[in-house]
């Protein structure tokens, strides 16, 4: 709550921290609507400018994130409409982009990936390396060769990673249900 009070009071350091924390996830969210990376980054930055302008009315982190998501979605949809790309999309595709279900699904997806990356950062460094290589599509023997470790060690690191991630997501899902 102190973070929000500091934002309300115009603390630029707190605003910068919030920008750094949520920027990449919001870019990922916007990419569900448009594919132009420059526009995505512009829209996310513009949404933070709007947040700064309305900072005194922000009541919570979840309200702030909701505000940013709505601003970005609206900017993306306006861009699609204004650039006449609507005619290039099938009617059903466009209706899906406008739907509340699509919007909520993408917010949940972003939260999931954000949580995943936060949990990965808590893993021991070598376990992070093994998991990252695995996520890039390398199999156990390729990871073993890449890191110059035994396959059994790769298996142990993956087992540890999955155990920690599973436990972290249990807490995450529980916390989401409380909101």
pLDDT digits (tens, 9 = 90+) for 38-74: 999 999 999 999 999 999 999 998 889 999 999 999 9
Average pLDDT of the chain to the nearest whole number = 85
With residues binned 3-state (H G I as helix, E B as strand, rest as coil), the percentages for the chain, rounded to 5, are 85, 0, 15
Instruction: For the chain, give every residue range classified as CATH 1.10.10.10.
Output: 111-179
CATH architecture of 1-102: Orthogonal Bundle (1.10)
> Which one of 1.10.10.10, 3.40.50.720, 3.10.350.10, 3.90.1150.10 gives the CATH number of domain 111-179?
1.10.10.10
DSSP H helices, 32-150, are 37-53, 61-82, 91-98, 100-121, 125-135, 140-147
- pTM beyond 0.85, yes or no: no
- b/e string for 55-75 if b means 16 or more Cβ within 10 A? beebeeeeebbebbbebbbeb
Spatial distance between the Cα atoms of 9 and 134, rounded to a whole number of angstroms: 44
Higher-pLDDT residue of 115 and 140 is 140
From-to residues of CATH 1.10.1740.10 in the chain: 1-102
């Amino acid at each position: 709550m102190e973070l929000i009070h500091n934002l309300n009071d115009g603390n630029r350091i707190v605003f910068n921290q919030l920008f750094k924390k949520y920027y990449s996830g919001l870019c990922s969210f916007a990419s569900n609507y448009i594919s132009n990376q420059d526009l995505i980054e512009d829209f996310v930055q513009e949404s933070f400018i709007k947040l700064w302008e309305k900072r005194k009315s922000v009541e919570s982190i979840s309200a702030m994130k909701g505000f940013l998501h709505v601003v970005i979605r609206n900017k993306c949809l306006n861009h699609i409409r204004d650039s006449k790309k609507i005619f290039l999309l099938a009617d059903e595709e466009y209706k899906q982009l406008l739907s509340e279900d699509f919007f909520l699904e993408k917010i949940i997806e972003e939260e999931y990936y954000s949580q995943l990356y936060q949990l990965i950062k808590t893993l021991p460094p070598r376990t992070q390396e093994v998991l990252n290589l695995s996520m890039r599509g390398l199999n156990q023997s390729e990871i073993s060769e890449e890191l110059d470790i035994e396959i059994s060690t790769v298996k142990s690191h993956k087992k540890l990673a999955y155990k920690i991630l599973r436990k972290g997501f249990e807490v995450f899902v529980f916390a989401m249900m409380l909101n």
